[in-house]
Structure 1
């Protein structure tokens, strides 16, 4: 008599509806996620109007923790796609409600871009996901019973106020030609360096400092070189940078050169003597000639 194989099933299991292997197309081999996963709706994964890059980018953004930078440059550094393609994909997501970018001004004056990612556009039950909280520090051991010394009050350390910027240089002897040359140089500066585009108010505010440079012997070429070389990138405030350079790179004033009194020939004796104007020498003047101008 044959030996019974008890490991073999007595009969084939009944097929479960929906679990049958399809004859063609994709076959899903799924494993249950217990951590590090993101829920993405089919309205995004199977969107008929979004490009594959936009769908993938939206999925990536939804998987990031709150507070992560999702600008064009960070995304370009993360993925091999170009800035133009990523920018176009972000515009797609904005057009279909999966992304919203707004410009906000912070209390300190800086302007930032606030990006909101929507996992289900059009839903009325939306709220921002808070940033993950840091783990609290371990509690200190309970103090021993009995009176405890009082802790000293926490007094903030005073900070010295920021000193005001030095005043702009002013010419000692304002000349119309220096003022005109200063206005021309500042107005024309953006033709040489596009980053240094100034407003009309900036030009008139900085013109006296430029005229001071001209008063001290600087040429337009020298001054333009001092203002346009080694610019920071990106340049946020051209007028502030020019104010700093015009003040801190100002050349010293010209040292007056002593000019000796010119020589003159005496009108009476033809002897040479020093005088600012022609006339007679001292001896001839004392002899009855016209007074000398020495």
Structure 2
């Protein structure tokens, strides 16, 4: 049988303008009429972003306003796991495409808003282009002097001949030329408008500070070194045998924790350190195997992490226990007594009367005397 050929593809290749390249990709570009998203080459060809991060960015950019773009929401739509999606979101946040902002609602509830910017480089430029207010002020200065000299030149000959005939023939229009002659002081005031010129060199480059600064360090930032596996003070043969038996039998209680011989030998000192600190085997097993991640890819690494981070404290010594059993000093507490006259409770080492009854009795005895 001959190899089947796609006639539609053959016709599409025939319509590609120019000679076809002998190697590399050949683009067949068909215009979109609906359901498309515009993506910039700065994102599609970003040199520092992984392909997963670029794909997640395109997926987020294609979603409508208000769609959920959390890790679990994206994991439900994509084939990538939550860890890869979280790493991709951190990359986008480090390069300015994504930002998570905490906001307080009018009800007092605090929420996290996810903001996605399709062109983060545009936010780094100042958003105030050279302060528009100074520019309209210049045409006012150029237009103001233009009409002023014109009336000055036209009115200059009028005062020479107008003062005698105007008040004699028409007394009413006499006030009209008076205000027309007042523009003369205007040119004196116009130079006062010139000082705004030094205001032109305003310090506009100040807003060059980036408006979108990522707060999460990039994935390439150096990570803190891991803590070493705990070691017992002395790895005795008894501790070594007990730790080896514990690790070899671990898969019987948790099948996903099946270890190789090398893993057992590497983890023996950590389990021996737990046994040395008087930890019971069932307690160690529960601490190491409880609630593992799904799916569990590296059981030995998880056991090493938990052996290091969940190490119990050393048991207290004999002196510390003796200090707990030592009798504490007791304080003498004065007991309560009931007054013989008013039945009021009061503190006293011996029974009798309260203070008020004693004072009343003393007053009666003094008055009788």
TM-score above 0.5, yes or no: no
Greater relative contact order (Cα 8 A, min sep 6): structure 1 or 2? 2
Would you tell me which structure has more helix in proportion to its own residues? Answer: 2
Normalised to the residue count of structure 1, the TM-score between the two structures is 0.37
Q: Normalized against structure 2, the TM-score is what?
A: 0.31
